[in-house]
Amino acid sequence: MSVFDTVQRVVGNRLSLILIGAMLLVLPLLMTSSFQMRLAVVVWVYAMAAIGLNLLMGFAGQVSLGHAGFFGIGAYSVALGPSQLGLSPALSLPAGIAFCGLLALLLGRPILKLKGHYLAVATLGLGMLIFMILSNEVELTGGPDGMRVPRVVIMGWKVKGTETWYWITGIALLISVWLALNLINSPTGLALRAIHDSEVAASVLGVDVARYKLIVFVISACFASAAGGLLALYNGHITPGVSDFLVSVQLVTMVVLGGMGSVGGSLVGAALIIILPQFLTVMHEYEHAFLGLIMILTMVFMRSGIVPSISKAIRSRRHDSNS
Amino acid sequence: MALSEFLQFLISGLTVGFIYGAVALGFTVIYNASHVVNFAQGEFVMLGGMFTVFGISLGLPYLVAAILAIALTALIGVLLYEFAIRPARGAPVFALIIITIGASILIRGLAQVAFGTSFFSLPSLAGDTPINIAGAVAQPQSIVVVVGTLAMVGLLALMMRRTMIGKALIAASNDLVASQLVGINVRMIVAMSFAISAVLAAVAGILITPISLVSYDIGVLLALKAFAAVMLGGMGKPAGALIGGILVGVGEAMTAGYISTDYKDAAAFVIILVVLCAFPNGLFGSEHHERV
Amino acid sequence: MTAILETDGLSISFGGLKALDNVNLSVRPGEILSVIGPNGAGKTTLFNLISGVYKPRSGKVLLEGQDVTGQSPDKLAGRGLTRTFQNLQVFQTMTALENVMVARHLHEKRNVLAHLLALPSVRRQREETRKRAMECLARVGMEHYADQTADSLPYGALKRLEIARALALVPKVLLLDEPAAGCNPRETEEIDEIISKIAAEGMAVVLVEHDMRLVMKISNHILVLNFGKKLAEGNAATIAADPHVIEAYLGLEGDEGEAGAVAE
């Protein structure tokens, strides 16, 4: 049992990367329409943001109800970089991520001192403030109508088409998973898990709790802004809606539904939250109500989320058959 | 001129401030009874206004529609507790946050389907002839809002002191375990607290709809502003919640008047962020020592 | 040798109640100082003040002669002071080994970028950390529990796990809050051995403990608290004979038989 766990932990990292890579390769063969591929791009992008948020929620135990704000900053930076600073769109993306990281660093310091409800409300307020700025600064952002995002051109090649973006966002997702797993299995990851389990014990053992919360807040903001930037580059158009409160709620739901602390879970959560409403066409107008219902049901009946619940069930079955 | 302008802002600030105060008071009632922060509180305001609008459109008299709306909202409050909060008792704080946010999204999603996305209004209870106060103009409904809110708060205070349920609520908020030991039915008490706070919010919704209109999505902002009020007034302090609400309302009106109407909603968030960051336990909250 | 840890007039109150009032103590490397007293005497509060979990209202904490009053627990850990907890604070979701590895934190390079990219140096360091953590588990006789998650371990093992975790930090001062509470006589004896051994290696140990047999046996020095104040101070023999101590503990004066039991 314990040997199995250790092996799983060491092999597990590489295995989940291989599994996701295989899925990326196989999916296009199964897809029958460009609409499905479009959906896949959106899922990859949201999964990236959800994985980042999961680092914050699942490992450091800190809730953020304003992550769509960082998503929006990433999205608008690829539109504003070219139009305001004359940067190329491809260069605007890393610039946007860096800007977002810096902003999270500055704002995170006071905000992360808060706990529980206070933290939830402060991040909610922060996200809404960003939404408000994006909607109100019409001269800069085009207001509620949004603005155009120029196409990425790399050495004369215009990056366009859903299939191209399928691979770009798919690889970005793979990199995100790799980075997240690395972090989780590093001393930083261990320190974060320690903070999650007992802040006071972590701190008497030398873990600078405030510093680690800040680090993971910045990293998760960078993940969200990278995702937002990619979505904007793919869509070619962006509105303040990307940073709406509902998007923050969607991200949180992806994390808790898939399973807090499970990187694969965030991918599953993102896929379900994006795809389910598309399939249930009757449900379409009930999309938001449905989202709320999922949140309540998950927290009441399956608090650890889909992926951890399934892997626990498999493990206990294996345990039973062994004994 | 400058003075009448200021007075004008003050009047509109006080009007919405009383509404925020009422919603914040609802937060406090639930928090004291159960230590749950109900993020769906703003939706109760929306429901109060919406149900009344639709009751009237069905041909019911104003008063009947309003009473039905209040009763219906209170019922939804109790259902929220029974089916979403109670099954998760003992859950960590984040789970309760996600549940009440989920409830808020669920209610507003259903309202969107049922009522559509347009704005609705209600006729003013005190007519439409504006009142002139030293150069500033007040809507008659503003006075209804202030008087109505105060009356409601007074009634609540009376109920808390005089009735068994009120006394049990106070006992439960002082010490949940001890109140269970003396035989208070905590389930009933917490359900009551959800009903009371839904009533507070629904009445606030009915009072404010003639001025600021109602649509399916007004809840989140209202809840946030009420939370800002609670922050200012100190968590769990009823009088503080009311005063905090008035401060947020006035702060918002001044922001709209002197800075920019675009950012009037930002005032509440700035208050939240500044208060929280300067005083991590709230303005009047006491320092908390974790036992280890 | 001079004292490594000293407190000077340490005081704090909660809601008007003086939980700790003007407490002085001093302990030298290799010494075991026990703090005893009835429940609510302020022993754990004293630990919370020294380890930086609470900030004192007045008074000073000196570590190696330097004023460290009010510094955060992680800063103090960096200076070589750590502690265990009366009501366990193990990392429930981690294995025993991982619990101990957390405490090697300060001995590792903490470059987050290197962690994100999983550079080979990070992996090498992990192996070193794992090895050291295993040694610490072995010191408390828990190596066979290494891969079990903490929430599946028996209570006595968790008590020793906290000690192993603290040792992994390689502290100069170790505060142990009731390490033998809830342990059976055999486990208590093991803990007694562990404490004596680490003190013999030159670590200063401050011990809060209710098991008088253990306290009387291994302490170089004893400090008795009652209602947040110092009641008595001295070696085991003086404390056992002190009438104030006997009264505080037993609520009656000069009962020879009972006092004898305390002194045993």
pLDDT at B212: 87
d(CA B66, CA B52): 5
DSSP codes joined into one string, B73-134? HHHHHHHHIIIIIGGGTT--HHHHHHHHHHHHHHHHHHHHHHH-SS-B----TT-S-PEEET
Taking the CA of residue A207 as centre, how many other CA atoms within 13 Å lie in the half-sphere pointing to its CB?
Answer: 33
Q: How far apart are CA C264 and CA C259, in angstroms?
A: 9
Q: What are phi and psi of C173, to 5 degrees?
A: -125, 130
Chain B contact set for A118 (CB, 8 A)? 231, 276, 280, 282
Predicted pLDDT of residue B284:
59
Q: C200: buried, middle or exposed (CB in 10 Å: 19+, 13-18, 0-12)?
A: exposed
Write a three-state SS string for B241-269: HHHHHHHHHHHHHHHHHHHCHHHCCHHHH
- With contact defined as 3+ CB pairs under 8 Å, the chains touching C are A, B
User: Which H, E and C letters describe chain C, residue by residue?
Assistant: CCCCEEEEEEEEEECCEEEEEEEEEEECCCCEEEEECCCCCCHHHHHHHHCCCCCCCEEEEEECCEECCCCCHHHHHHCCEEECCCCCCCCCCCEHHHHHHHCCHHHCCCCHHHHHHCCHHHHHHHHHHHHHHHHHHHHCCCHHHCCCEHHHCCHHHHHHHHHHHHHHCCCCEEEEECCCCCCCHHHHHHHHHHHHHHHHCCCEEEEECCCHHHHHHHCCEEEEEECCEEEEEECHHHHHHCHHHHHHHHCCCCCHHHHHHHHC
Whether the pLDDT of residue C264 is over 50: the answer is no
Show the tokens assigned to B211.
Answer: 């001025």
Percent of chain C with pLDDT over 70: 94
Q: What is the rounded distance in angstroms from the CA atom of residue C165 to the CA atom of residue C136?
A: 7
Please give the C-alpha separations between residue C97 and each of A46, C93, C118, C145, in angstroms, as whole numbers: 35, 12, 21, 8
Cα–Cα nearest to A207, from A220, A183, A190, A231: A190
The residue with tokens 């295995």 is: A15
Residue B292 Cα, gap to closest chain C Cα (Å): 7
The tokens describing C151, both together, are 């929430």
pLDDT one-digit tens code per residue, A54-88: 999 998 888 899 999 999 999 999 999 988 888 88
* B93 has a chain A CB within 8 A of its CB: yes
pLDDT digits (tens, 9 = 90+) for C21-44: 889 999 999 999 999 988 888 888
Torsion sign over Cα C70, C72, C75, C77: positive
Cα C47 to chain centroid, rounded = 8
Q: Which of C79, C80, C87, C96 is nearest to C140 (CA)?
A: C96
Q: What was the pLDDT predicted at A317? A: 77
Do the beta carbons of residue B194 and residue B38 sit within 8 Å? yes
Is A241 in the B-facing interface, judged by CB distances under 8 Å?
no
**Of A305, A195, A301, whose CA–CA distance to A257 is shortest?**
A305
Q: Which of B149, B196, B159 is nearest to B34 (CA)?
A: B196
Nearest-angstrom CA–CA distance, A4 and A25? 29
Which two structure tokens, joined as six digits, stand for C90? 């193990």
Query: N- to C-terminal Cα distance for chain B?
Result: 60
Q: Yes or no: say if C38 and C249 are a contact pair by the CB < 8 Å rule.
A: yes
Supply the pLDDT for residue C255: 43
Residues of chain B with C-beta less than 8 angstroms from the C-beta of A252:
98, 101
Structure tokens that stand for C2 in this block: 């001079």
CA distance A159 to A233: 9
DSSP 8-class letter at B214: B
| CA distances for B86 relative to A163, A219, B107, C67, C125, angstroms | 48, 35, 18, 50, 47
Residues in chain A: 323
Cβ pair A68, A205 in contact under 8 A:
no
Instruction: Give B132's strand partners.
Output: B137
Q: Which residue of A has its CA nearest to B86?
A: A300
Strand partners, C204: C173
Mean pLDDT of A273-287: 79
Q: Is B287 on the interface with A (CB under 8 A)?
A: no
- Which H or E run contains A288? helix A287-301
CB atoms within 10 A of CB B136: 18
Q: How far is CA B62 from the centre of its chain?
A: 22
Q: Rounded mean pLDDT of A153-171? A: 85
Residue C95 pLDDT greater than 90, yes or no? yes
How large is the angle between the packed helices A306-322 and A263-279, nearest 10 degrees?
A: 120
Lookup: tokens for B69: 């709306």
Closest CB to C74: pick one of A182, A183, A208. A208
Nearest CA in chain A to B220: A245
The residue-averaged pLDDT of C12-20 equals 84
Tens of pLDDT along chain B (292 residues) come to 578 889 889 999 999 999 999 999 998 889 888 888 899 999 999 999 999 999 999 999 999 999 999 999 999 999 999 999 999 888 888 889 899 999 999 999 999 999 998 999 988 877 778 888 877 888 888 888 999 999 988 888 888 888 887 888 778 777 777 777 777 788 888 899 999 999 999 999 999 999 888 999 899 889 989 988 888 887 778 888 899 999 999 999 999 888 888 888 888 888 877 877 777 665 655 555 555 5
Show which subunits contact B, needing at least 3 CB pairs below 8 angstroms: A, C
Is B278 exposed, middle or buried, given 0-12, 13-18 or 19+ CB atoms closer than 10 A? Answer: exposed
pLDDT, tens digit (0-9, with 9 covering 90-100), for A210-247? 999 999 999 999 999 999 999 999 999 999 999 999 99
Q: Measured between alpha carbons, how far is residue A25 from residues A18, A44, A164, B9, B152 in Å?
A: 10, 13, 13, 61, 63
**A49-68 b/e (C-beta count within 10 Å ≥ 16 → b):** bbbbbbbbbbbbbbbbbbbb
Task: Please answer whether residues B47 and B69 qualify as being in contact, where contact means their C-beta atoms are separated by less than 8 angstroms.
Answer: yes
Question: A70: closest CA among A43, A40, A44, A107?
Answer: A107
- What is the distance of C-alpha B217 from the center of its chain? 15
Which region holds residue A250: left if phi is over 0, alpha if psi is between -120 and 50, else beta? alpha
* Partners of residue A202 in chain B, C-beta under 8 Å: none
CATH class, range B2-278: mainly alpha
Name every residue in B having a CB less than 8 A away from some CB of C.
289-290, 292
Chain A partners within 8 Å of B103 (Cβ): 292, 296
Q: A19: how many CB neighbours lie within 10 A of its CB?
A: 12
Contact A231, A93 (CB under 8 A): no
The answer to whether the predicted template modeling score (pTM) of the entire model surpasses 0.80 is: yes
How far apart CA B17 and CA B10 sit, in angstroms, is: 10
CATH 3.40.50.300 assigned to C5-80+171-263: yes
pLDDT number for residue B200: 93
Write down how long chain C is. Answer: 264
Do the beta carbons of residue A270 and residue A176 sit within 8 Å? no
Distance to chain C for B276, nearest Cα, Å: 21
Q: Which of residues 13-32 of A touch B (CB under 8 A)?
A: none
- What's the confidence (pLDDT) of residue A4? 45
- The ranges assigned to domains in chain C are 5-80+171-263
Which amino acid, residue B9?
Answer: F
Amino acid at B86: R
CB contact under 8 A, B292 and C14: no
CA dihedral of B213, B109, A130, B264, whole degrees rounded to 10 = 10
Calpha distance A149→A92 (Å, rounded): 11
Tell which residue, A183, A163, A225, A227, has the closest CA to residue A24: A163
In angstroms, the separation between the Cα of residue A79 and the nearest Cα of chain C is 28
Domain residue spans of chain B:
2-278
Residue C169: C-alpha distances to residues A107, A212, B58, C163 (Å):
32, 19, 73, 10
Closest Cα in chain B to A248: B101
Number of Cβ within a 10 Å radius of residue A2: 12
Distance from CA of B284 to the nearest CA of C (A): 15
Q: Does the pLDDT at position A7 exceed 80?
A: no
Over the stretch C135-182, which tens digit does the pLDDT of each residue have?
A: 999 999 999 999 999 999 998 899 999 999 999 999 999 999 999 888
Q: How far apart are CA C196 and CA C209, in angstroms?
A: 14
CA–CA gap between residue A131 and residue C236 (Å, rounded): 68
Instruction: Find, among C126, C114, C139, C152, the residue nearest to A9 by Cα.
Output: C126
